[in-house]
Amino acid sequence: MTELDLVGRARHGDLDAFTALAGARLEAMTRTASAILGDETEAHDAVQEALISIWRELPTLREPERFDAWAARILVNACRHALKRRVRVRVREIALLPEGAGGPSLPGVSGRAESLGHEDALNRAFERLDADQRAVLVMHHLEDRPLAEIAAILGIPEGTAKSRLFTARRALQKALEREWR
């Protein structure tokens, strides 16, 4: 059975078809939410919230062939809501390049200490970005999604997605510069 068949059956209330669709995406959804939110527990909550919304709204999906983009948009919105509900700032983990893999270097700091310094600075800089900036960076750089797909997920023109990616990169760069001062 194809994904489109599963979407069609799930739209008409077939819970088994929906379970198959959700199961195929669960790991990727969790990875995306974790990257945006920086907290595994919040990520699991956002994924669950998104899956509930997807199930509820599935009968209203007009273009079943665009299910993936539609579901990803719902997940990004769930992450936005989680960030708004956040009471305190949490540390976010981002895996950097392994030591000696050609990453940037800081003068006077070497080896593992440099890597930890970069990781902490990157975490703090990423926390300064808003949800939309985090989402576009995660989708493009972590998930390797093309701009056309990001635009479809966010419901915006491709040129706007490109502009948002540029703006998010610039914001991250400025936040990193502030961290390294």
Q: Are 117 and 179 in contact (CB under 8 A)?
A: no
Predicted pLDDT at 87: 52
Query: How far are the Cα atoms of 17, 37, 170, 176 from residue 120, in angstroms, in the given order?
Result: 42, 16, 19, 10
pLDDT per residue as tens, the chain (181 positions): 899 999 999 999 999 999 999 999 999 999 999 999 988 999 999 999 999 999 999 999 999 999 999 999 999 999 989 988 875 444 444 444 444 444 443 333 344 444 556 777 787 888 888 888 888 999 998 888 899 999 988 888 999 999 999 999 999 888 888 877 7
Residue 48 in domain: yes
User: Helices 40-57 and 67-85 sit at what angle, rounded to 10 degrees?
Assistant: 130
**Which structural domain range is residue 139 located in?**
106-181
CATH of the domain at 2: 1.10.1740.10
Closest residue by Cα to residue 61 from 1, 135, 25, 9: 9
Apex 35 CA angle, 33 and 37, nearest 5:
65
Residues 6+ apart with CB under 8 A from 78: 33, 46, 47, 49, 50, 53
| Counted domains in the chain | 2
Predicted pLDDT at 181: 74
In the block, tokens 């939410």 appear at 33
Could you tell me if 17 and 80 lie in one domain?
A: yes
CATH of the domain at 132: 1.10.10.10
Residue 97 in domain: no
Could you tell me if 80 and 154 lie in one domain?
A: no
Could you tell me if 82 and 113 lie in one domain?
A: no
Which of 22, 55, 90 terminates a domain? The answer is: 90
Could you tell me if 64 and 112 lie in one domain?
A: no
Could you tell me if 82 and 20 lie in one domain?
A: yes
Could you tell me if 14 and 38 lie in one domain?
A: yes
Could you tell me if 121 and 69 lie in one domain?
A: no
